Amino acid sequence: MQLENTAALVTGGASGLGAATAKALAERGAKVFALDLKDGIDQAPEVAGVTYVAADVTDPEQVRTAVATAAGAGVPLRTVVNCAGIGPSMRILGKKGVHDLGLYAKVVQINLIGTFNVLALASEAIAETEADENGQRGVIVNTASIAAYDGQIGQAAYSSSKGGVVGLTLPAARDLAQYGIRVCTIAPGIVETPMLATVSEEFRTSLAAGVPFPRRLALPEEYAKLALAIVDHDYLNGETIRMDGALRMAPR
């Protein structure tokens, strides 16, 4: 699918995976709308071809407004990449007691329900565009995690939410096939994002040492490259692709 002279919406677009993807899409000629919370946008750098839109992915009206902004850019909305998410950890039963139910619900609300909210509302707008010569209207790329398969101690909420994203992928692709919309998911391993900025260099080195090859952390730009490859490859649909250097996470 061609990106030039089309619009794209990227959630979590002010930093990390989303920022790298928004930049890569803009460099390929798309008009990019980077959706994020206002605090994140206030700290985001200016990027040519990227317009920031403040919205909470869990709020249907805010997302509907953001989608309308992207769809009203004068070119067809073709690409959506869901990168927004959080990753707090807590054991189901730990020294301080049982897992906080509110925290569990918040993680699922943002990572899974937020992803579905954007997917559903964006697909509605994409379905109204005119298909290209191959019957295509768009592609939606979601973000899971290898924690969906190899969840570690303390990742009950995070793994549940990302497992839900994996489970959403195939039925979403089947639901949206009649509109010429493809749906795929990327399941990254350990990526050098702002989430890791607070940990020590020694800890990052130990994380990298566990990756079979290449023995390093992934880069946000590599996620962006894979997202663009999915957009380019018209026969990729309904699939979750691991991007993890063959890493299989240990229990802790």
Question: Catalytic residue positions?
Answer: 158
β partners of residue 154: none
Contact status, residue 163 vs residue 155, Cβ threshold 8 Å: no
Nearest partner of 146 among 221, 207, 237, judged by Cα: 207
The residue count for the chain: 252
How far apart CA 105 and CA 125 sit, in angstroms, is 28
* Distance of alpha carbon 80 from alpha carbon 121, whole angstroms: 11
Which residues, 6+ apart, have CB-to-CB distance to 238 below 8 Å? 169, 170, 173, 174, 182, 183, 184
Interacting residues of 72 by C-beta distance below 8 A, sequence separation 6+: none
